[in-house]
Amino acid sequence: MPYWRLSSFYFFYFATLGALIPYWGPYLRSIGFSPAEIGNLIAIILGTKIVAPNVWGWIADHSGRCMGVVRLAALLTVVTYSGVFFGTSFWWLALVMTLFSFFWNASLPQLEATTMNFLGDETPRYGRVRLWGSIGFIVVVWSLGPLLDRHGEAMVLPILLVLMAGIWVASLTIPERACRLGHEQHASILTLFRQPAILAFLLSCLLMQASHAPYYAFYSIFLADHGYSNTFIGFLWAVGVICEVIVFLTMSRIFSRLSLRTVLLGSFLLAALRWVLIAYFVDSVPILIFAQAMHAVTFGAYHATAVHMVHRFFTGRHQHRGQAIYSSMSFGVGGALGSFYSGYSWMWFGATTTYLVAAVMALLAFALTYSLIRPAGAAFSGSTR
């Protein structure tokens, strides 16, 4: 398995995310956009995440050249993103963001499928590859803040270009051969969707991501409103991602002892507990740190398990489209719906109620998985047994 070549792709992809999520909004504000305009522009990224993975997943599955698709998408990401240097009007940036996010959101699901194919019977080692994405995120989040304080928000533009170019270069080093494995004929993908377990799994993932929306959108604001400094807020975000790295390192041991269904159910329960703790104990530093440490399970263990499940549910020629559907349903539809409800809930009912709604969503995901997915199902048995 080309460990470092796969890891470098994850590193640059999530390093790009680490620059985009915290710092793109401040850049847009620095060039004069209103909060509503900023929200609309950032929403474009979620919108393309619903469509792009499925389009490119279909191309990858039918061409049998998934790394060719990843390389093309990564190159077109760099080319289209370069448009940010040629204009700053709302509609110009809306066009640029639509194009570059359409290609950028396409590449990761295909790479996930390729990684799982390379791992073969050693899928529990996925976490050791994926952890480099978390490391890339941490490195950029910690280093870019002081750089922008010194040189201004516009510095994010060339940095993002360099990181996106890194994604493309990393894609060139990954061989195509894993994409040609397991492309025997299978039942149509519509047949798979008639299985209650698959529908329950995808809906549970949608609910899980929707439950995270108030955390991603408003956690920093919530903490600032309670008097915490930006330094401490950054520390809490770092705690979550560091714990995520640790769990990625130990996923193979976890999967050797627990079934995938058990890990998934546990992640849903802990997510509900996490949102309740944040809602009611925001003034307690030890509890906030504990809640952030739970990110290891509510994202790290959950996502690693979900990728394994997709790999088992969508076999053969459906693997790349399966990862695309998972990405679209959870991070795309789930993220968009979650952002929509949390914004209005935060405005009308306040932070506590919003986080309690998030906890209910996580519990609904638990109920769906517990009721409709059988413990004996092949896809949810332990990874190594």
Domain end: 134, 153, 177, which one? 177
Closest among 94, 91, 110, 103 to 41, alpha carbons compared: 94
Q: Which amino acid is at 358?
A: A
Residues 122 and 205 reside in one and the same domain = no
Q: Which amino acid is at 249?
A: L
Q: Is residue 152 one of the residues assigned to a domain?
A: yes
User: What CATH number does the domain containing 87 carry?
Assistant: 1.20.1250.20
φ, ψ of residue 165 to 5 degrees: the values are -65, -35
Closest among 164, 127, 106, 21 to 328, alpha carbons compared: 106
- Which region holds residue 43: left if phi is over 0, alpha if psi is between -120 and 50, else beta? alpha
Q: What is the pLDDT of residue 384?
A: 38
Q: What is the pLDDT of residue 310?
A: 83
Q: Which two tokens stand for residue 125?
A: 């080692």
Q: Which amino acid is at 292?
A: Q
Query: Does residue 52 contact residue 105 with C-beta atoms inside 8 Å?
Result: yes
Instruction: Give every CB contact of residue 135 below 8 A, 6+ residues apart in sequence.
Output: 11, 245
3-class DSSP state of 202: helix
Q: What is the pLDDT of residue 183?
A: 46
For 159, what's the count of Cα atoms within 13 Å in the CB-facing half-sphere?
Answer: 23
**Domain count across the chain:** 2
Q: Is residue 331 one of the residues assigned to a domain?
A: yes
Q: What is the pLDDT of residue 35?
A: 64
Element at 43 (helix H, strand E): helix 35-63
**CA dist., res. 158 & res. 84, Å (int):** 10
Q: Is residue 299 one of the residues assigned to a domain?
A: yes
Residues 166 and 207 reside in one and the same domain = no
**CA dist., res. 102 & res. 336, Å (int):** 15
Q: Which amino acid is at 7?
A: S
Q: What is the pLDDT of residue 120?
A: 66
Q: Which two tokens stand for residue 293?
A: 């440490």
**CA dist., res. 324 & res. 219, Å (int):** 28
Residues 167 and 229 reside in one and the same domain = no
Residues 280 and 383 reside in one and the same domain = yes
Residues 337 and 253 reside in one and the same domain = yes
Q: Which two tokens stand for residue 25?
A: 């909004």
Q: Which amino acid is at 35?
A: P
Q: How many helices (H) and strands (E) does the chain have?
A: 16, 0
Angle subtended by helix axes 230-257 and 302-313, to nearest 10: 40
Instruction: Give every CB contact of residue 120 below 8 A, 6+ residues apart in sequence.
Output: none
Q: Is residue 327 one of the residues assigned to a domain?
A: yes
Q: Is residue 182 one of the residues assigned to a domain?
A: no
Query: Does residue 140 contact residue 15 with C-beta atoms inside 8 Å?
Result: yes
Q: Which domain holds residue 95?
A: 1-177
How does DSSP classify residue 154?
G
Domain end: 177, 200, 225, which one? 177
Residues 122 and 208 reside in one and the same domain = no
**Distance (Å) of CA 378 to CA 201, 220, 309, 369:** 14, 41, 10, 15
E strands within 189-249?
none
Residues 136 and 18 reside in one and the same domain = yes
Q: Is residue 154 one of the residues assigned to a domain?
A: yes
φ, ψ of residue 172 to 5 degrees: the values are -70, -25
Domain end: 145, 177, 209, which one? 177
**CA dist., res. 39 & res. 30, Å (int):** 14
Residues 15 and 89 reside in one and the same domain = yes
pTM: 0.73
Residues 374 and 230 reside in one and the same domain = yes
Q: Is residue 184 one of the residues assigned to a domain?
A: no
Residues 111 and 208 reside in one and the same domain = no
Q: What is the pLDDT of residue 125?
A: 72
Q: What is the pLDDT of residue 179?
A: 60
Residues 31 and 150 reside in one and the same domain = yes
Question: Which residues of the chain are under the pLDDT cut of 50?
Answer: 181-185, 378, 383-385
Q: Is residue 185 one of the residues assigned to a domain?
A: no
**CA dist., res. 339 & res. 212, Å (int):** 9
Q: What is the pLDDT of residue 315?
A: 63
Give me the helices (H) in 152-258, please.
156-173, 189-192, 196-225, 230-257
Residues 170 and 92 reside in one and the same domain = yes
Q: Which long-range contacts (CB under 8 A, 24 or more apart) does 367-371 make?
A: 368/200, 368/203, 368/204, 368/207, 369/200, 369/201, 369/204, 369/261, 369/264, 369/265, 369/268, 370/265, 371/200
